[in-house]
Amino acid sequence: MSGREQQYIQEAFDTNWVVPLGPNVNGFEEDLKKFVGQDREVVALCSGTSAVHLALIACGVGPGDEVLVQSFTFCASSHPITYLGATPVFIDSEKDSWNMDPDLLEEAIEDRIAKTGRAPKAIVPVALYGMPYQIDRIMAIADKYGIPVIEDAAEGFGSCWEGRVLGTFGKFGVLSFNGNKMITTSGGGALVCEDVETKNKIMWYATQAREAYPYYQHEAIGYNYRLSNICAGIGRGQMTIVDEHIAHHRRVQELYSELLSDVPGIRVHGNPDPRYQSNFWLCTMTVDPSIRIVGQENAYKTVVKGAVGGAAGVVHCSENPRTDCEPNDNIEALRVFMDQAGIEARPLWKPMHRQPVYKNAPAYVNGVSESLFKVGMCLPAGPYVTDEDVRYIVDTIKKAIVRDGHH
């Protein structure tokens, strides 16, 4: 932690603002507002998940409704839909960006209207690993059917589509400042809103929906979702170096691309064309199924006992090392090989339409996200990953590959 973060935190203690509101929260919101631009308003919240939840509520989502959401994502994009008694309708990805396929999106809207007699209540595209979605096409389709868009830019803080920051195109934009994100407040998030009126409504929901009386009066159900003044202090310090963080992630991705370009069958995921400007929150690559890896014959032989990839709070032990939808054996073998070399790598997100918890949810699929999940891997990219580290990681990947019976 730098001196800037400590200065804001100390200020909070000195002024006794150790609460979920205060000068740091207001200051952080102002910093974020400047950063996203487009005359948007920003509400600081305790997580990206709570931002998704409140955006859905503000779009009128309730029991029995349907929400169109990208399948290739973390569960925080879809779980809040189910909190509200609504049904997620999963949309598969396009090959270039790995994000929501606009053609499938329109097909799904027409099919849901035909099947249920009404349009879904919201559309949730996701900036997977920081990569922008085709927001111009998604917005055109959303406007055609009158459906609000909630941009899940939790992983895409600072990513742009044609130079404009993600989270500023739709009705709402979701940001995350979790411990592993582009900037962190240790835990936290924010919701980008269209105007002050909407911001105030979100703020009201986030503070238990209290009415203006000298006593506690509640006329709607609210939530305890505001960001703490301490966490916001960390965020304010982080905002002073956000541009450096984004530049670093882009540099790391460039280096991976360069150093792995001569390895047949390995492809580092990059911007499909100049309209996409990813922050490369995580660097990702795909590995051809034909590539053999040292120890591949032992992949998935043992049940994972602890958490993989720093997943804190994983307390359920799995009974079976295999599931009916998992990365290829060479991906698992490469993860284990890298782990033994002190490198934390992990598979891509497992598509939500293949998660047991969502087995009954409607899904419009083309096979793209599932095929990427089988061959993809995330590589280290954070602020502490040096050029030297990237070279070591790439050397380790090369050592793991079996060539003509040798490695």
What are the mean pLDDT values of the chain's consecutive 10-residue runs (407 residues total)? 74 67 89 96 97 98 98 97 98 98 98 98 98 98 98 97 98 92 86 97 95 93 94 92 95 98 97 98 97 94 65 66 90 97 96 97 98 98 95 98 75
Query: Given 219, 242, 265, which residue is the final one in a domain?
Result: 242
Distant-in-sequence contacts of 9-16, Cβ < 8 A, 24+ apart: 9/230, 9/233, 9/234, 11/233, 12/229, 12/230, 12/233
Q: What is the token pair recorded at 320?
A: 């079976």
- pLDDT tens for 311-359 read 556 666 677 778 889 999 999 999 999 999 999 999 999 999 999 999 9
Domain shared by 286 and 333, yes or no: yes
User: Does residue 63 fall inside a structural domain?
Assistant: yes
Alpha carbon distance 42, 23 (integer Å): 15
**Domain termination site, one of 207, 223, 242:** 242
Residues 137 and 92 in one domain: yes
Token couple for 35 = 């950063």
Instruction: Report which of 125, 111, 171, 172 is spatially closest to residue 146, judged by C-alpha positions.
Output: 171
Instruction: Sheet with 172-176: list strands edge to edge.
Output: 41-45, 189-193, 172-176, 150-152
Give 255's Cβ-side CA count (13 Å radius): 20
* 208 and 72 in a common domain: yes
373 in any annotated domain = yes
Q: What is the pLDDT of residue 304?
A: 72
Same domain, 151 and 287: no
Q: Is 22 left (phi over 0), alpha (psi -120 to 50) or beta?
A: left
401, two tokens: 């590959």
Together in a domain, 142 and 204: yes
* Distance (Å, whole) CA 277 – CA 250: 10
Quick one: 166 and 264 in the same domain? no
Would residue 258 count as lying in a domain? yes
What's the alpha-carbon Rg for the chain, to the nearest Å?
22
* Residue 406 covered by a domain: no
How many domains are contained in the chain? 2
| Predicted TM-score (pTM) of this structure | 0.93
Check residue 354 and give its pLDDT: 97
Angstrom distance (rounded) from CA 90 to CA 84:
16
The CATH code of the domain that includes 193 is 3.40.640.10
Domain of residue 222 covers: 3-242
Write down the pLDDT at residue 17. Answer: 65
Return d(Cα 183, Cα 31) in angstroms, integer.
13
Instruction: Read off the amino acid at residue 267.
Output: R
Asked which of 203, 223, 242 is the last residue of a domain, the reply is: 242
pLDDT averaged over every residue in the chain: 93
The verdict on 46 and 164 lying in the same domain is yes
Task: Express each pLDDT in 81-119 by its tens digit.
Answer: 999 999 999 999 999 999 999 999 999 999 999 999 999
216-227 in b/e form (b: 16+ CB < 10 A) is eeeeeebbebbb
Q: Is residue 316 part of a domain?
A: yes
User: Does residue 153 share a domain with residue 22?
Assistant: yes
Instruction: For residue 293, give the CATH number of its domain.
Output: 3.90.1150.10
Percent of the chain with pLDDT over 70: 93
Interatomic CA distance for residues 397 and 334, integer angstroms: 7
Closest by Cα among 71, 103, 77, 72 to 89: 71
The CA distances from residue 244 to 33, 123, 239, 290, 382, in Å, are 19, 32, 10, 38, 11
Is residue 154 in some structural domain? yes
Q: Do 212 and 285 have their domain in common?
A: no
CA-closest candidate to residue 24, choices 183, 239, 169, 213: 239
**Same-domain check for residues 93 and 232:** yes
The pLDDT, as a whole number, for residue 71 is 98
The tokens for 363 are 């899904």
DSSP string, 70-96: ESSS-GGGTHHHHHTT-EEEEE-B-TT
Query: Is residue 405 in some structural domain?
Result: no
pLDDT for 184 equals 80
Residue type (1 letter), 143: D
Which amino acid, 214?
Answer: P
**Residue 292 lies inside a defined structural domain of this protein:** yes
Q: Both 157 and 292 in a single domain? A: no
Distances (CA, A) of 59 to 54, 75, 80, 124, 172: 9, 20, 13, 12, 9
Residue 125 near residue 70 (C-beta atoms within 8 A): yes
| Residues 112 and 75 grouped into a single domain | yes
Residue 77: both structure tokens together: 């994009």
